[in-house]
Structure 1
Amino acid sequence: MLPELDVGDWLYYEDMGAYTLSMATIFNGLDATAIKYHCLEELCGDETSTIVILIEMNVLLTFLSKRAFTEQILKQYFGKLDTVNTMKKRLTDRCVVDLHPERRSTHEIIQNVVSEKQRKGDDDRFVVCDVGDIIQKFQHWVTLMPRIKLFYAVKCNTDEALLQVLSDMGASFDCASKKEIEAVLNLGVSPTRIVYAHPCKPVSSLNFAKSRDVSLMTFDNVNELQKVKETYPSARLLLRLLPEKEFNARLEFSGRYGCSSTEVRYILQTAKDLELNIFGVSFHVGSDIQDPRAYVSILQQSRSVFDIARRMGFNMNILDIGGGFPGEQNTFERFKEITEVINKTLLDLFLPEDNVEIIAEPGRYIAASAFTVVASIMSKRCYQSSADGDVNGQDSAQLKRNVATYFLNDSVFGNFMYGRLYMPGSVIHIPKVVKVRVLFS
């Protein structure tokens, strides 16, 4: 239960980084949301140099340097990357930086921002982004699944700072549209670090991908093959599979994308007749999968398709295991359980000596817990309402209860457009409160 609130108080909603900001609009006069970036020092211990930027939209970001991470893990996994110098250069060239070496919680950051906004007479909504959370998620991924390269699903959250941090750490990107490809290429990312992961693409977007040398892409039907043949015949294709078995997920994709097992041979033969290049398979088990066994089933299915395609003469060397990984707070143990199942199944079905490149397309996992939406109460309506039903034998019409309706300066036409607060199966977001402080002149 929330305490009684007043006009001017603030509510903040955690775990709002996935499929929220990227869908917010300016409908009904709502402006683009200001974002405050911060990073917790506790992430990396004594060798941490933390730069925190508390600035408005469209300016970068937070830099966190940890020598053990950048020098050992990054160089081992992504090659020789001078990540520290690169990120420092971009920050010092483009940003005004505020150093905060002490530990700060999200709540404390929000309180400080609210106090500053109150002094300025500003009650506009804003978002807090913990860039350290993004970096920590990346660390966990590299540590727990070293065989699997991370291609971040850009559609999940297109925030420029998030993309820049991932780019500087050497992550790759799953893009589902021309705009997403443009955004990633504008960061200086090589087109070889992009997979155009939409099975059904406009011809104009195929032409754009070709002009930018983005050659790796997914498909799931013969009509798409005809399009690719006419537009981009040198494309490297991944056949998206429809999982034969369904498991509980927050958002299931069955029936939308992916070819069934009965279609595989026909599609492969059509690709061979058209002299197109199929290099592997892809799949998606559904957003925020609840049962790790979903990966076992579809990986077995993928192994079968690999074998069929290789016998037909295709050089199958890429396996794209899609997304489905949890990303909200307090889901690390479930994520760890999923990684254990995936690693074991891969060792059984795709041995390292097979030289198969394995990639994945996490979105929610990277973005969800890093972003917190903060909105102020701009109005309050108090009234009495009749109680429901019979209460202790009394007529409910004679009983009244006090009701308060609060109006926020955010809405389903803003950062809540995805409907995360009320969609069936969604995480229940209970806001936390920052009470306004009375300022005396």
Structure 2
Amino acid sequence: MKDTLGIEKLIAFSQAKETPLIVIDLAQIKDNYQELTTLFPQASIYYAVKANPAVEILSLLDSQKSNFDVASRYELDQLLALGVEGSRISFGNTIKKATDIAYFYEKGVRLFASDSEQDIRNLAEHAPNSKIYVRLLPEESSSADWPLSRKFGCSTEMAFDLIVLAQKLGLEPFGLSFHVGSQQRDIEQWGNAISRCAALAKELKETKQIEIRMLNMGGGFPATYKLPNAPLEEYASKINFYLEREFGDDHLQIIIEPGRSLAADSGTLVTQVILVSKKSTGGTPRWVYVDAGLFNGMIETLDESIKYRIVSEKTGPTDNVILAGPTCDSMDVMYEKEKVELPLDLKQGDRLYIRSAGAYTASYASVAFNGFPPIQTFFLQ
């Protein structure tokens, strides 16, 4: 990851501003987008709006001719207000109201994800002749820092039946999709999923004369957190090999839905130390309470899943601390098992800089829990 916003510039920009706040470097997002288009030249990029729906980010990606994956009519309305055409939007949420399907269809969206019979029937009724793609359950996603299992997708056998049903009801059975889990560090998971989709596509063609023309590989590409992962170039090289191995010259349209990998590394969450304390006289470890926590920006530390890089302006000796947020909720503890090393002389009023916090932070934050306002975000060109 090329860090286009150095820590010195970040400190200078944020030092006079009230915490917590997020600083987004738009140049980093542009660089990340261009890297993805270079590494996956055959793919159409559909930015996962849920990662960070800020107008500034959507406008930048619109200027780069990105497409968009949306999860609700509210995200759709944001894009329509920016002038993005429905033809560049996919309704990627498999859980949707019939009235929302009708709304998307009215606004020109013709590409829909599905994973259930009732949803296929709703699509046939409210979005006739639309292109649909069926999402498969992942076989294994525990190697992802933020697994995506059980709630979305269906078995291969059910996917076969749904594709056949979609054609019967007048929909266009356009493609298949999968998601190997967010911040997936095992590249082989793409190989397994692509193989399953290729086998299903072959069965549909041979037994039902239905040709699958699109494969949506979802997201899962990495951001730069504490745990190491392979560079994006290695992901792309192996995934492109898997595609060539399984689909060859089938002229398949490929879609990817980056969210975290586009937005995360662009952002830094700046938080202030409220209190440093211990639970007994002479006890260890120290508890460090900051003004950003599980409910205002750091929800992905739930179960200590995403392990952010945390930087202090201070240098010198460090020791392990428990890092917790400001709310009156006992869940608001970010790291207790995970080792977080912070300076021994850290004190009230000092600032910490949580790196790669541009995705799933501001958009995930609660509204007015304990009265805390939404976290403020600033954008640098």
TM range (shorter): 0.7 to 0.9
Q: Once the 2 structures are TM-superposed, how far is the Cα of residue 354 of structure 1 from its aligned partner?
A: 2.4
Which residue of 337, 343, 354 corresponds with 2:234?
337
Alignment of 1:169 with 2:64, yes or no, is yes
Q: Once the 2 structures are TM-superposed, how far is the Cα of residue 381 of structure 1 from its aligned partner?
A: 5.8
Which residue of 398, 409, 412 corresponds with 2:294?
412
Structure of greater Rg: 1
**Equivalent pair of 1:279/1:314 in contact (CA under 8 Å):** no
- Alpha-carbon displacement from aligned partner over 1:8-67 (angstroms, at most 9, x marks no partner): xxxxxxx9xxxxxxxxxxxxxxxxxxxxxxxx9x96xxxxxxxxxxxxxxxxxxxxxxxx
How far apart, CA to CA, are the structure 1 residues paired with 2:188 and 2:150? 20
TM (norm. structure 1) is 0.65
Which residues in structure 2 correspond to 1:120-139 (within 5 Å)?
123-139=18-34
Which residue of 256, 261, 265 corresponds with 1:365?
261
Match of 1:151 in 2: 46
How far apart, CA to CA, are the structure 1 residues paired with 2:8 and 2:82? 31
Q: Once the 2 structures are TM-superposed, how far is the Cα of residue 426 of structure 1 from its aligned partner?
A: 2.3
Letter in 2 for 1:252: P
**Equivalent pair of 1:242/1:257 in contact (CA under 8 Å):** yes
Taking only aligned residues, the RMSD between alpha carbons, in angstroms, comes to 2.7
How far apart, CA to CA, are the structure 2 residues paired with 1:246 and 1:419? 17
Alignment of 1:432 with 2:333, yes or no, is no
- Closer, same or farther in 2 for the Cα pair 1:343/1:207, shift >3 Å? same
Structure 2: gaps spanning 5 or more residues: 315-345, 351-381
Letter in 2 for 1:266: D
Match of 1:297 in 2: 192
How far apart, CA to CA, are the structure 2 residues paired with 1:159 and 1:282? 26
Letter in 1 for 2:233: K
Which residue of 109, 124, 127 corresponds with 1:214?
109
Match of 1:423 in 2: 303
Q: Once the 2 structures are TM-superposed, how far is the Cα of residue 382 of structure 1 from its aligned partner?
A: 5.5
Instruction: Give the SS at the match of 1:189.
Output: coil
How far apart, CA to CA, are the structure 1 residues paired with 2:137 and 2:235? 20
**Equivalent pair of 1:244/1:260 in contact (CA under 8 Å):** no
How far apart, CA to CA, are the structure 2 residues paired with 1:123 and 1:345? 48
Alignment of 1:287 with 2:167, yes or no, is no
Alignment of 1:375 with 2:271, yes or no, is yes
Q: Once the 2 structures are TM-superposed, how far is the Cα of residue 194 of structure 1 from its aligned partner?
A: 1.0
Letter in 2 for 1:411: G
Which residues in structure 2 correspond to 1:89-238 (within 5 Å)?
105-114=6-15, 117=16, 123-238=18-133
Letter in 1 for 2:292: D
Structure 1: gaps spanning 5 or more residues: 1-14, 16-39, 44-103, 387-399
- Closer, same or farther in 2 for the Cα pair 1:105/1:424, shift >3 Å? closer
Which residue of 164, 179, 191 corresponds with 1:269?
164
Which residues in structure 2 correspond to 1:232-247 (within 5 Å)?
232-246=127-141
Alignment of 1:350 with 2:247, yes or no, is yes
How far apart, CA to CA, are the structure 2 residues paired with 1:247 and 1:423? 14
- Closer, same or farther in 2 for the Cα pair 1:382/1:306, shift >3 Å? closer
Q: Once the 2 structures are TM-superposed, how far is the Cα of residue 309 of structure 1 from its aligned partner?
A: 2.8
- Alpha-carbon displacement from aligned partner over 1:308-344 (angstroms, at most 9, x marks no partner): 3334233421110111110126867432221111111
- Alpha-carbon displacement from aligned partner over 1:177-226 (angstroms, at most 9, x marks no partner): 11111112222112111111011211121011011011101101111111
TM (norm. structure 2) is 0.75
Which residue of 178, 189, 212 corresponds with 1:316?
212
Q: Once the 2 structures are TM-superposed, how far is the Cα of residue 407 of structure 1 from its aligned partner?
A: 4.2
- Alpha-carbon displacement from aligned partner over 1:254-281 (angstroms, at most 9, x marks no partner): 2221121222332233223322211111
Match of 2:201 in 1: 306
Greater relative CO (CA pairs within 8 A, separation 6+): 1
Instruction: Give the SS at the match of 1:255.
Output: coil
Letter in 1 for 2:221: F
How far apart, CA to CA, are the structure 2 residues paired with 1:189 and 1:132? 21
Q: Once the 2 structures are TM-superposed, how far is the Cα of residue 433 of structure 1 from its aligned partner?
A: 2.8
Q: Once the 2 structures are TM-superposed, how far is the Cα of residue 401 of structure 1 from its aligned partner?
A: 5.1
**Equivalent pair of 2:42/2:254 in contact (CA under 8 Å):** yes
Instruction: Give the SS at the match of 2:134.
Output: strand
- Alpha-carbon displacement from aligned partner over 1:86-124 (angstroms, at most 9, x marks no partner): xxxxxxxxxxxxxxxxxx62332322431xx2xxxx534
Percent of residue pairs bearing the same amino acid type: 25
How far apart, CA to CA, are the structure 2 residues paired with 1:327 and 1:384? 35
Instruction: Give the SS at the match of 1:354.
Output: coil
**Equivalent pair of 1:156/1:363 in contact (CA under 8 Å):** yes
How far apart, CA to CA, are the structure 1 residues paired with 2:287 and 2:244? 55
Deviating more after overlay: 264-273 vs 363-372: 264-273
- Alpha-carbon displacement from aligned partner over 1:271-300 (angstroms, at most 9, x marks no partner): 233222111111111111121111111111
Letter in 1 for 2:304: P
- Closer, same or farther in 2 for the Cα pair 1:273/1:419, shift >3 Å? closer
**Equivalent pair of 2:115/2:154 in contact (CA under 8 Å):** yes
Which residues in structure 2 correspond to 1:46-85 (within 5 Å)?
none
